[in-house]
Structure 1
């Protein structure tokens, strides 16, 4: 008796909704409970809100309802109301022709029938199969409707964000959407998850041309890059200690030269540079970062070559083979 009463209530609710909308034009048909579907981004939220409103209406009418929470029947009833609203809004003329038993082009093409809940269903040659009712007689939905888009997005999420064919196949287990492939493609283009993973990486900016020191012919280490590496822990007779590696890199051939540094003092670096020059010849240009010891070393080197060495031969050699020191551009404070 309770099941029969519940079924009669659902049929009465659907029939009242249909009768209310039949006398109105396409633009005057009121959605279920006056809910604005454009405010909802998922079908689950829309159906739950609709079911809660219907539950509240039944409570105001003193209709017996023992369930304290929403049930699957409540959500199914809310979904049927929205399907009826969408179908009457788009296919109201076809619905009336079916009731009057007048043939129409859409009816002949899709084999439209009206089920017990007032829904338009498409029939075919699978009526005697063991498939579900939605697969044997799918519910007709128009392609350019917000409700249809929410249905497609739900099927897309259930398919773990696979492509158009998977989402279309999932929706056709229950619904038949006109122009289904184009409707599914339009809905999937709005999926933010798929945009993030399928959009590809950001386009890299155009790289600047290499400097002339990297592409012009020159002897090895005539233009050198300079940097420190470390510290490294080593074992000595006096115990463990830290050392650093000074790395000289040829900007033309990419050859490297390594020198061990005992500490980060300027004097130690000057001795390292002298050892490098004695083996690899005097470089024309040195490029380094803005480390404090390198800046100080540049000033000391200039002082050594110009003021300490008194020999005219040495001074003429340094003047003709002078070292040009360039520092990598240093950002002003507060930029980073």
Structure 2
């Protein structure tokens, strides 16, 4: 008769709670049908493939949290536990709505249009609810929540953080982790927002993680940069600018591999701040502090993929020419059957002791583009 599918909330929820919300939606849909249909329904049967939800409805003890308890109460207010049955996931037509299907499959799918095949059989052949281990769930419900802190190596979570965030957010996330690490080691609590020194330390930790790929790559030609190590163990560009009055980060940039996500995120961060400028400007901007191997190739790739840059540098649309008229495309006609006429000049021609104007009249065949020119003495009709 009807079906309804809703999206999961953005804040996230557990699978049992989402299943419980779906069951509540089924009850509301049944109430709507009973109010709107012009016939009396003898009985309503409900099906779900969640054994946890079935156990929620069959349980009689009060040990649920507020979220679960409120929804179980609403469901049992309109139904009874005996009205609920188990359907295997493979035979549940609800998945067609939640997982999606093409229009052709929707028309030809008998399970969606007619329901599961076991509904047309005797009730003794209907699926039976599998055994559910309630003891384990009861034990889990009675366990008091506790705080468990796992101290892990910095390198273990660094790769996961890099794949989730932008460059600025990576530094903030790593800085918070490093602060937590210091708190657990020193057993002291540091309050307040992050400071510049913490962000700088987090940046060095991220670049130190990227340095591993640089050293593992045997094809990287580090020798051409005459590298040297900084006080914190990072690789810097060498050169002859040691006595220059520029900043140290400009004279000796940090070396980064082009294939690492850190390099990509850095260029992604510099690119919009430079006003979506060209490749050379962005490359020069990044080299104030970082030297990325094959940096020009990386910058070109990011600029090419940028939607804003494509819009700014895209070619404007040009007007499409209309179709040629019939007179231009009619074949097998003698020349000058269909012509175009135009005047040009005038030319000054000497006549006796005076000069007079003469005009050129050009006739153009519209089919073969042949040209014939005549002299027109004046611009009036008789002369034409």
| TM range, smaller chain | 0.3 to 0.5
Q: What is the TM-score of this pair, normalised by structure 1?
A: 0.47
Higher relative contact order, chain-length normalized (CA < 8 Å, sep 6+)? 1
Q: What is the TM-score of this pair, normalised by structure 2?
A: 0.41
